[in-house]
Amino acid sequence: MKFLAGVVGSVVILDQITKLLVDRFLPLYSVKPVIPGFFNLVHARNTGAAFSLFAGSPSTLRTTLFIVLTVAVVGVVVYTYGKLNREDVWTRSALALICGGAIGNLLDRMRLGEVIDFLDLYIGAYHWPAFNVADSAITVGACLMAVSLFKAQDA
């Protein structure tokens, strides 16, 4: 459980620090080019789930639903992590990253009712939806989980 706590703690701290910096130093809806034609820092707020899913739903229902689902997912992840073999580094890493990212965004939802997003990748006029460190951890964790599943099939 030390590994889980370390990864989760690192992701949550990095996520919350970066969001705090964005909130303090980048006005809402502003754009700061970093690599022209590819990467901007932005200050966006996401009231929905991934890719702003459910952003138009009533706020109390939406926020409550997201908080309850996130707490349930974190519970399942921690339970599953506890059942894993210590040598299963891929799955342990995947679950730790997913858990850290989920908690990072959960803190925003509980505090603000929405999530701060600030990383904007794009090519020309085609933008990926803005995201944050927590979203990145969840994505990397999901990719590691896929690798873990494929490795398990080869065994």
User: Among all residues, which ones are annotated catalytic?
Assistant: 117, 135
**What does the block give as tokens for 89?**
């580094």
Instruction: State the Cα torsion 74-101-16-69 to the nearest 10°.
Output: -40
Integer Cα distance of 1 and 58 in angstroms: 38
Angle, helix 89-112 to helix 133-154, in steps of 10 degrees: 150
CB distance 51 to 129 below 8 Å: yes
Look-up of token digits 């409550």: 64
Integer Cα distance of 50 and 27 in angstroms: 22
